[in-house]
Amino acid sequence: MTPARPLLLDASAFWRLASPTLASDRRSEVAGWIARGIVHSSTPLLLETRAGRLPPPVDPGDLPLLWITERAERRATELQQQLRAVHQQLGIPPLDYLIAAIAEDHGATLLHYDGDFERLASRTDLRAPVELLAPLGSLG
């Protein structure tokens, strides 16, 4: 099924695209979305994936890019303040707030494999849908 919105790929999902424990039908589905230009990258993904590890077959620099806007920067701090207000901010890296805000700003769904995004979605007014690549704990 083709997603109704663009997908913003987080590094947590990116590094697991080649996981042997990722279901082959899910791997094929995401590969098809990438081939059709539905999956997007962001500056945080580029920064996280160019740190020396060998990437999966797709280079995030080859994906369409969703840029960081001033609105997304402000929104990231709002999300952090919302989690702080309910004492849920501990352990969430600053880039995760920004990635979620970028997805929201561009009307994208956030494709991830990170419980922090699940917490952001359930404990804030984040307007970007979040989608797990696979159930948490199922991939190596």
Q: Where are the alpha helices (DSSP H) in 6-130?
A: 11-14, 24-35, 43-49, 70-85, 94-105, 115-123
Q: Which residues pair with 130 in a beta bridge?
A: 110
At residue 48, the pLDDT reads 78
The overall longest dimension of the chain from CA atoms, in Å, is 41
Burial 62-72 (b: 16+ CB within 10 A, else e): ebeebebeeeb
At residue 39, the pLDDT reads 97
Q: Any idea which residue has 């948490």 for tokens?
A: 136
Q: Which whole number is the average pLDDT over 19-31?
A: 94
The model's pLDDT over 98-125, given as tens digits with 9 standing for 90+, comes to 999 999 999 999 999 999 999 999 999 9
CATH superfamily name and code, 7-51+58-132: 5'-nuclease (3.40.50.1010)
Number of Cβ atoms within 10 Å of the Cβ of 80? 19
Q: What is the pTM of this model?
A: 0.92
Domain map of the chain by residue range? Answer: 7-51+58-132
Q: Which residues pair with 111 in a beta bridge?
A: 9, 131
Of 18-22, 52-56, 99-103, 135-139, least confident by mean pLDDT is 52-56
The model's pLDDT over 46-97, given as tens digits with 9 standing for 90+, comes to 887 655 555 677 888 889 999 999 999 999 999 999 999 999 887 899 999 9
Q: Which whole number is the average pLDDT over 21-36?
A: 95
- Look at residue 26 and give its three-state secondary structure: helix
Nearest to 123, CA basis, from 70, 93, 72, 78: 78
As given in the structure block, the two tokens for residue 41 are 């990258």
